[in-house]
């Protein structure tokens, strides 16, 4: 293994497949890199090669009338959104690192934001992929039309695969017309009970928020809500939030400042010190888990996507306290029927805290079989996923 990884910059799926076939034959390990915004995910073992997707960039196909768009993997999401905006359309994904993240990286890391509550996540919006595989073939899954039933649904395999099964070269998405209106509100709450009571009420109405986020930091609890769509729907959502906040004895204020929602969404990008734990929980367990997290010695902040019960807890301070708190959270997630992993940790903590310290994922056996089938030589992203 070389001291410094050699960079590969293929310009197409075919070139990418040739490079991967050569790496497999020679047993050269490969890291796949777009903008590098998710380089903290998983275990980052040294590799012989780094395959960069930046040369595979741009919009491959856009049919505004069909509400579909195909983009090359190295295309920054921000560039794609600007191109769609010219046609009054949007790809309703709001992942962390949105300013720099690339299309391929978003799919490979299954990086969905708060808007999944209203629009669904990457898996729901992705309708086709072109991927280069380790054996030198180019695999096409799905298609470029919404109603597509041809072939196996390979798209779902690549979502969240972190490059361990192949390199995504193109992705096709469903897009939507840009919303007519958008509004935001913040409810300042006396504690977790009030914040989650408001969130639970809104989830059982027809308002369908675009973001429903519980935050806790410095002993303060709040609920952030964003709504978008037809103007009457937006106004109804904000009015319903105000009524629910009043019932919970919380102070609700409408705001035009989107920075707070953006800051909550970007926690994985900004929590560069200490440890960031990500837990996926049953909806009924998120209040208990979050309240317990807030009592930990190393607790700094938590952000809860209350519509999907994805909880992120930032731990910082004394290293021993941080490690104890991380272990407690990983165990607590399993106790309440969820799962958790270390999403990010300071470099000094990596030797003492593994990314996959939590319980093994469901379907572990099947995941290993898929890895063996798609990457027989085991050269793609070693250590990056829970199954190696």
- Over 90: is that where the pLDDT of 256 sits? no
Strand duo 30-33 + 49-52: pairing: parallel
Instruction: Compute the distance between CA of residue 234 and CA of residue 237 in angstroms, rounded to an integer.
Output: 5
Report pLDDT digits (tens) over 317-361: 999 999 999 999 999 999 999 999 999 999 999 999 998 876 566
What architecture does CATH give domain 1-178+358-388? 2-Layer Sandwich (3.30)
The answer to whether residues 279 and 342 touch, using CB atoms and an 8 Å cutoff, is no
The whole-number average pLDDT for the span 284-297 is 97
At the topology level of CATH, where does 266-356 sit? Alpha-Beta Plaits (3.30.70)
Q: What is the sign, positive or negative, of the torsion defined by CA atoms of 191, 210, 141, 79?
A: negative
Strand duo 49-52 + 6-8: pairing: parallel
CATH class of segment(s) 180-258: alpha beta
Report which of residues 385 and 205 the model is more confident about: 205
The whole-number average pLDDT for the span 302-326 is 97
pLDDT at 361: 60
- Over 70: is that where the pLDDT of 145 sits? no
Average pLDDT, the chain: 93
The whole-number average pLDDT for the span 362-379 is 87
First to last CA, the chain: 18
Report which of residues 360 and 369 the model is more confident about: 369
pLDDT at 148: 53
Instruction: Compute the distance between CA of residue 113 and CA of residue 209 in angstroms, rounded to an integer.
Output: 13
**DSSP string of 26-53, one letter each residue:** HT--EEEESSSTTTTSS-----SEEEE-
Strand duo 59-63 + 211-217: pairing: unpaired
Provide the pLDDT confidence category of residue 1 given band limits of 50, 70 and 90.
very low
Q: What percentage of the chain exceeds 90 in pLDDT?
A: 85
Provide the pLDDT confidence category of residue 111 given band limits of 50, 70 and 90.
very high
Instruction: Compute the distance between CA of residue 13 and CA of residue 227 in angstroms, rounded to an integer.
Output: 39
The whole-number average pLDDT for the span 113-137 is 96
The whole-number average pLDDT for the span 116-131 is 95
Nearest to 107 by CA among 200, 10, 32: 32
Provide the pLDDT confidence category of residue 103 given band limits of 50, 70 and 90.
very high
pTM of the model: 0.93
The answer to whether residues 286 and 196 touch, using CB atoms and an 8 Å cutoff, is yes
Provide the pLDDT confidence category of residue 153 given band limits of 50, 70 and 90.
confident
1-178+358-388 and 266-356, same CATH topology? no
Instruction: Compute the distance between CA of residue 68 and CA of residue 178 in angstroms, rounded to an integer.
Output: 14
Q: How far is CA 272 from the centre of its chain?
A: 17
Domain boundaries defined on the chain: 1-178+358-388, 180-258, 266-356
């Amino acid at each position: 293994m070389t001291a410094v990884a050699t960079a590969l910059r293929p310009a197409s799926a075919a070139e990418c497949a040739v490079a991967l076939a050569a790496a497999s034959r020679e047993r050269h390990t490969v890291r796949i890199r777009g903008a590098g915004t998710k380089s903290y995910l998983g275990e980052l073992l040294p590799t012989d090669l780094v395959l960069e997707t930046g040369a595979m960039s741009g919009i491959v196909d856009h049919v505004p009338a069909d509400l579909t768009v195909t983009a090359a993997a190295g295309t920054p999401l921000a560039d794609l959104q600007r191109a769609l905006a010219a046609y009054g359309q949007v790809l309703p994904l709001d992942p962390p690192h949105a300013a720099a993240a690339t299309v391929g990286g978003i799919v490979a890391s299954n990086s969905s934001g708060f808007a999944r509550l209203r629009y669904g996540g990457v898996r729901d919006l992705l309708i086709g992929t072109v991927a280069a595989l380790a054996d030198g073939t180019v695999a096409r899954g799905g298609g470029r039309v919404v109603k597509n039933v041809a072939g196996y649904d390979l798209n779902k395999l690549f979502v969240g695969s972190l490059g361990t099964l192949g390199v995504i070269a193109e992705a096709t998405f469903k897009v939507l017309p840009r919303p007519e209106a958008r509004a935001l509100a913040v409810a300042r709450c006396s504690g977790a009970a009030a914040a989650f009571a408001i969130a639970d009420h809104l989830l059982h109405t027809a308002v369908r928020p675009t973001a429903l986020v519980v935050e806790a930091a410095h002993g303060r609890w709040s609920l952030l809500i964003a709504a978008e769509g037809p103007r009457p729907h937006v106004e109804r959502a904000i009015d319903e939030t105000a009524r629910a906040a009043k019932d919970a004895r919380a102070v609700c204020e409408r705001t035009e400042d989107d920075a707070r929602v953006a800051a909550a969404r970007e926690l994985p990008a900004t929590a560069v010190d200490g440890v960031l734990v990500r837990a996926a929980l049953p909806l009924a367990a998120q209040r208990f888990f979050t309240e317990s997290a807030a009592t930990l010695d190393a607790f700094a902040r938590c952000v809860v996507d209350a519509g999907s019960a994805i909880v992120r807890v930032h731990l910082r301070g004394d290293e021993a306290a941080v490690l104890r708190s991380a272990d407690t959270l990983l165990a607590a997630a399993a106790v309440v029927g969820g799962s958790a992993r270390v999403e990010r940790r300071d470099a000094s903590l990596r030797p003492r805290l593994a990314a996959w310290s939590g319980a093994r994922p469901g379907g572990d056996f099947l995941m290993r079989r898929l890895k063996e089938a798609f990457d027989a030589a085991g050269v793609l992203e070693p250590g990056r996923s829970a199954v190696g």
